[in-house]
Each structure stands twice: as structure tokens, then as C-alpha cells.
Chain A
């Protein structure tokens, strides 16, 4: 049975697309037939992070309007043959997505894939609403920072009341937090909310903690999801997250403050 997973946040710039791309790659690497859909109509970006921007011929809206068949619009990943991308349209029409249309496309995808991942746009408009509406599971990407935490709470509230599951009385969307741009050093200095702070405030458990890392920018420069970068702590944190989402226990890593050497301590960082 296919599972629909939304990657959402409310606030922009917290790492939704970075996370969706890496998680999708991780699921594919774990052998799951995976498709990842960009719901950010008008501001397509997932294709760039996945490195397939020059192969976009048809997009999500073309499929919704019947201008292209779904298999024409799906872009097969070059690295994993069981991974596909459905790009967002560049149209300025904000109402290009309809609930019935999205339902139809998701149902079709659920027949051919194990994991249908929806990369939500920021905000709480139509695109964000429809990205989460049909979800079975939600990964709420949050930075340890006040505005991101507050927006995540709004998103969690909306998911609890305005999802298909909630409306049909099929229970709630399974919710997880994915804490990104985390810095154990700053947490220790009392400059940043800790994992426990964020969990306590939002009342939801963290399924992954991705440390702040220069690798994320370098990978997006190259169109390679950071999970595929060997030796990257951020990449390994995403891999751990995928394993936990698959139901496998993984200890949390990269949460200890790195000890500075004597010379570093003497001469500053």
C-alpha cells in the first residue's frame, strides 16, 4: 500500500525542498519505488535540487489539465531508476491546482509507487493546503528558531483539522518533526532552542536532526541531494531519518559539541 508523505513547514527557507529531495533519494536507495512532487506552483525548485532541471518537459499542471499523460511528465532520476520527479509548473495562475485534480493524480501515482512524497510550498495557501490534504504522514521541517517553530505549530493545527483523513474520520496524519540547521554548539551556549525545547513546545517528536552544514549549499549548487554526499554529516542525518521513517531504530548522531583542540582554544575558532 502506497504511502503519501508531505514535507511541509509553514515558514519558507527552512529546508523543505532540500529535505524532500534527500528523503526521496533515501527511500529510493532503500528500494522503495518513490516519486517526489513539487507543489510550489509558479516557483519550481525541486528539479534544481534534484539536478534534473534540463529534463523538464511536462509538469504537474500539464498533467492536471490533461495536456500530458502522467508517465510523460514523470522525470526518471539518473541515479536511481525507481525514483521519479514531477516538476511544478511555472504558471502564475495560483489556482492551477484543484482538489479533484490532485486527488486523481495521487491515486494514479499510488498504483505505481510505494512512496508518494509531496514537497509543499511555504505559506498556508492552496498549494500548501493540497500538498498536505491527502497525506498519511507529515514531516514538518523546523529550524530551532522562534518564527519557524510558531509557523510549524500553525501547520500542525491545520493538518489536524483540514486533512482528508480528519474530514473522513480516518484519524490523524502521523506527524513528525525534522529539525534542520541545528547547531549543538549554539544550543550548549544557550543561544539556540534544543531538541527537547522544540519537542516540548510543539508536542510532537523529532524524527531527525540535521546539523547546520556547508554541504547543503554545495550540494544544491551541483544538483545532488545532500544525502548522496559521502561523509557528510547532514547527509547521514537524512539517511538516519529515512531509516526511522521506515520503522528502523537509529540512534541520533552529530548532537555532541565538537571539542576544540588546544591550539584552537588558544587562538580562537
Chain B
């Protein structure tokens, strides 16, 4: 560990920046490639179906796609309104 190493450690190496930038952009690239165009439509139709039974806001439906090894997982979460609101409808 010389003086040179001390100065080197102050600044991130350019290869390190490349690694970080690529990790982020490729993650995005992969999600957008797998998250095909049907997701927004799926969300809209789901919302319509759920609204037949429960009054919910559009933000209450969340759809996420996860990649786990070779499997893709579609995660759907719907936040239902509090009990009092449900009683009104």
C-alpha cells in the first residue's frame, strides 16, 4: 500500500463506473423487454372488473413483473378501501 494507492482509492475507477452504469441500464432493458405492452391494458381491465364490486381508486391496483432466475412473476396487489367506505357502497 503505497502513497499512489492512497490517491487512487480516492477516486472511483472508470471501469467501476462502467460496471455500475451497465448494471442499472441492463436491469432496465430487461424489465422493459419482458414487460410487454399488455401490462397497462391488463391493469385497466382489472380495475374495471374490481370496480364492479368495490369502489377503488386507480392507484389501488399495482402490477409488477419480477424476474427470478428463469421465471417471471406477475405480482398484483389491490389495496381495498377501509371497511367504512365499503359499507357506503
Contact = CB atoms under 8 A, between A and B. Distances in A.
Interface string B52-65: 00000000000000
B26 to A, nearest CB: 5
Contacts of A201: 19, 22-23, 26
Q: Chain A, interface size: which category?
A: 10 to 19
Interface stretch (A59-67, A146-154, A241-249): A146-154
Contacts of B14: 190-191
Interface stretch (A92-100, A192-200, A206-214): A192-200
Interface in A146-167: 146, 149-150, 153-154, 157
Dominant SS among interface residues on chain B: helix
A157 B67 CA distance: 13
Contact of B13 (A145, A146, A154, A190): A190
Contact of A154 (B18, B23, B29): B29
A201 B14 CA distance: 16
B70 to A, nearest CB: 9
Contacts of A157: 29-30, 33
Nearest to A187: B15
A221 to B, nearest CB: 31
B49 interface: no
B37 interface: no
Contacts of B22: 146, 149-150, 193, 201
Contacts of B13: 189-191
A130 to B, nearest CB: 20
Given A146-B21, A157-B33, A190 B15 contact: yes
Contacts of B25: 150
Contacts of B23: 201
Task: Label chain A's interface by main secondary structure.
Answer: helix
Contacts of A202: 26
A153 B30 contact: yes
B16 interface: yes
A192 B29 contact: no
A193 B19 CA distance: 7
Nearest to B29: A153
B19 A153 contact: no
Interface of A: 145-146, 149-150, 153-154, 157, 187, 189-194, 197, 201-202
Q: 4 shortest A-B CB distances, which residue pairs?
A: A190-B13, A153-B26, A190-B15, A197-B19
Interface of B: 8, 13-16, 18-19, 21-23, 25-26, 29-30, 33
28 contacts: A145-B18, A146-B21, A149-B26, A150-B22, A150-B25, A150-B29, A153-B29, A154-B29, A154-B33, A157-B29, A157-B30, A187-B15, A190-B15, A191-B14, A191-B15, A192-B15, A193-B15, A193-B18, A193-B19, A193-B22, A194-B15, A197-B15, A197-B18, A197-B19, A201-B19, A201-B22, A201-B26, A202-B26
